[in-house]
Amino acid sequence: MRKVDVPDIEVVERVELPSEETALVIVDMQNDFVKEGGKLRVPTAESTVPSIKKLLEKARSKDVLVIYTQDTHYEDDPEYRIWGEHVRFGTWGWEIIDELKPIEDREIVVRKTRYDGFYGTPLDDLLRIYNIKNLVIVGTVANICVLHTAGSAALRWYKVYVPMDGISALNEFDYYAALRQINFLYKGVIVENVNGIEFV
């Protein structure tokens, strides 16, 4: 195994974001990725649930727009050739975990068929309808769906914020690679933990 040094990642302790211009985006926190018995379980995903839940409660208390992405696949989906069958529509594994269930008449669920939450979805349109400028992004898998969604957001000139305790990856390398890319390439703000994110 070859060891590499992680390049510097700028981390801030605290940010204040205007509630009416900010959305919390919760990426793919579904049973197949998070829970024991899930078909593509991320080992550290469950440990992020308390942090994400705390941030979700903060967002709800300040009427921040909350959007979930829900990875969604169907029979014979080409992605199964890469990862095996996972988050198949209508299964237990496809459902968002109970701890973070959306409020049906208040929060938005965007079903996506690829890694990127913007690709082939109404996400950008929804954010523009609500005049959103800032995205706080949490969820799993850090270097795949989180990274692609964050990158796609930045390419549309949304300002991206990612708390370090709110994302998870299949391994430590992928975790830090995602943080590095979000910070270095997309100029996203990496926040030490969810306690440092305040909606005002």
Domain limits, the chain: 11-199
The string of DSSP letters for 31-70 reads HHHHSTT-TT--TTTGGGHHHHHHHHHHHHHTT-EEEEEE
Q: Which residues of the chain have pLDDT under 50?
A: none
pLDDT value, residue 4:
83
- Top CATH class, 11-199: alpha beta
pLDDT value, residue 63:
97
pLDDT value, residue 163:
98
Report the catalytic residues: 28, 112, 145
Cβ-proximal residues to 45 (8 Å cutoff; 6+ apart), any chain? 29, 33, 34, 140, 168
Cis status, amide bond into 12, omega within 30 of 0: no
User: Taking Cα atoms as reference points, which of 148, 156, 138, 128 lies closest to residue 197?
Assistant: 138
pLDDT value, residue 148:
98
Distance, CA of 133 to CA of 4 (rounded, Å): 35
Question: How far apart, in Å, are the Cα atoms of 170 and each of 44, 102, 104, 145?
Answer: 7, 25, 30, 12
Query: Which residue type does 96 have?
Result: I
